[in-house]
Amino acid sequence: MRKILFLIIGVFLIASTNEKYLEYTNKLVTYNFELKNIDKIKSPFYKIKKPIFLNNKKINKNIKKIIHISLLSVFNDTAYIKIDEYMGDELINTYKKWVKKNDKIKNCRVENIYSDKIVIKCGKKQLIKKLNVKSLRIRIGQ
């Protein structure tokens, strides 16, 4: 009988301590705790963006102006192109314009215009921009 009595008392003591831990875990799981200074809480992956000063000569050496040219359409020996200007990896300016043969695009010159492509000469290099035309090709006889 004593053993059963000690067992019952032991179970009640263990159960009372487990209830505290169960309440704490329940509060954590269901988020029943008070948040203070919520405006000062940052995400764990939050990174402070460092300002880039363009006046610094060391940074200016690494940043280059890049121009992307894409051909949109060709009509009557004139081409409609889209020009994207990037400073480093940031887009600065985007514009579209019509060009003819021997027109200048920044430091490049339009050398030739075909029905589906345009040839641009930049110094000693030649750029060939093609139209993005989707044509339906059906294979017969399979």
Domain ranges of the chain: 65-130
DSSP 52: P
Residues above pLDDT 70, as percent of the chain: 56
**Structure-token pair, residue 121:** 């000469």
Task: Give me the chain's average pLDDT, please.
Answer: 77
Q: Identify the band that residue 139 occupies on the pLDDT scale cut at 50, 70 and 90.
A: low
pLDDT digits (tens, 9 = 90+) for 43-93: 667 666 666 655 555 455 567 888 999 999 999 989 999 999 998 778 889
Q: Quick one: residue 4, left, alpha or beta (phi over 0 = left, psi -120 to 50 = alpha)?
A: alpha
| Secondary structure of residue 61 in the 3-state scheme | helix
